[in-house]
Amino acid sequence: MESSMTTTIFAERTITLTRHFKAPRDLVWQAWTDPKHIQQWFGPESFTNPMVAGEAKVSSIMHITMHGPAGTDFDRDFPCTLLYREIVPGKKLVFENDAVTADGTKELEGRTTVTFADKDGGTEVVLETSGKAVVAHAAGYLQGMEQGWSGSLEKMRRLLEA
């Protein structure tokens, strides 16, 4: 007798964001692939990343622990993983980005594609990301997806243009 496991999806969302950075493509690429740089910009405004470990290579996992602002409802750790599926150096990243609990249980399943192109003396980044809430309370996280990624990209802009 075969058993099949079905995952309940509580909510889904896809967004596309385009940003122009006044920085060369190789530097923008490095910001997306070097853990030391990722630690400085990943996550919504006012969030920090006390832990970023791993490397950006196909089938490899980058472990990131975001921490929300002190004194708020988000003053806690938010672990996540990036599982790299496709890497075209300097041009394209595809990764599964999952929000997980401290014990590794998935709350959100995501897939993100980021493309990089030279444009107007800098770099254009197009980010398309989709998320699926696989636990009920994570449906609310998807409502903040655009704000969260926009905050991340704004922190990256400040880092790159400093």
Q: What is the pLDDT of residues 109-140, one digit of tens each?
A: 999 999 999 999 999 999 999 999 999 999 98
pLDDT value for 145:
93
102 band by pLDDT with thresholds 50, 70 and 90: confident
| Three-state DSSP state, 154 | helix
* Tokens read off for 80: 């996540």
Q: Domain limits of the chain?
A: 11-161
Residue among 20, 10, 11, 12 nearest 127 (CA): 20
CA distances from 68 to 75, 124, 142, 151 (A): 5, 28, 16, 13
pLDDT above 70 for 3: no
Give the model confidence (pLDDT) of 25-78 as tens digits: 999 999 999 999 999 999 999 999 999 999 999 999 999 999 999 999 999 999
Give the model confidence (pLDDT) of 27-38 as tens digits: 999 999 999 999
Mean pLDDT of 1-14: 77
pLDDT above 60 for 1: no
Say which CATH class 11-161 falls into: alpha beta
Mean pLDDT of 86-108: 94
Decide: 38 and 64 in contact? Cβ < 8 Å: yes
Residue labelled with tokens 């003053």? 75
